[in-house]
Amino acid sequence: MKMYILVKDTIPEGVAILAAAHASLAMYLKFKDTPEIKEWLSGPFYKVVCKVNEKEFENAKQYEDSVLLTESSLDNQEVALAFKPRDEWPKPFRFYKLYR
């Protein structure tokens, strides 16, 4: 099982790192009582952080079981989406660029 975190490619790197960390925690807190989280935590608990453009970000919002993060230092701009872990992912997730 993997959790995906999508971070907008327009976000400054320092803010992006914080957004990814906050997104991981926010996703856990929102879904902590679900069977998927229990399975994911039993290990290994993979996380994939991707850098996406605006269109990819907007399209990803259509998928279920996510948490949307905003950043107060950027006028509450949307910066990241974190998705509850799952085994199978929609096709677009295979093509997002890894955040490096």
Closest residue by Cα to residue 65 from 84, 86, 43: 84
Closest residue by Cα to residue 27 from 37, 39, 38: 37
- For the chain, report the end-to-end CA distance as a whole number of angstroms: 21
The strand pair at 2-8 and 46-52 is best described as: parallel
CATH tag for 2-98 (out of 3.40.50.300, 2.60.40.420, 3.40.1110.10, 3.40.1490.10) = 3.40.1490.10
Q: What integer pLDDT is reported at residue 99 of this predicted model?
A: 93
Q: What is the pLDDT of residues 30-89, one digit of tens each?
A: 999 999 999 999 988 899 999 999 999 999 999 999 999 999 999 999 999 999 999 999
Q: What integer pLDDT is reported at residue 24 of this predicted model?
A: 96
Whole-structure pTM value: 0.95
Q: Is the peptide bond before 35 cis (omega within 30 degrees of 0)?
A: no
Q: What integer pLDDT is reported at residue 45 of this predicted model?
A: 84
Q: What integer pLDDT is reported at residue 29 of this predicted model?
A: 97
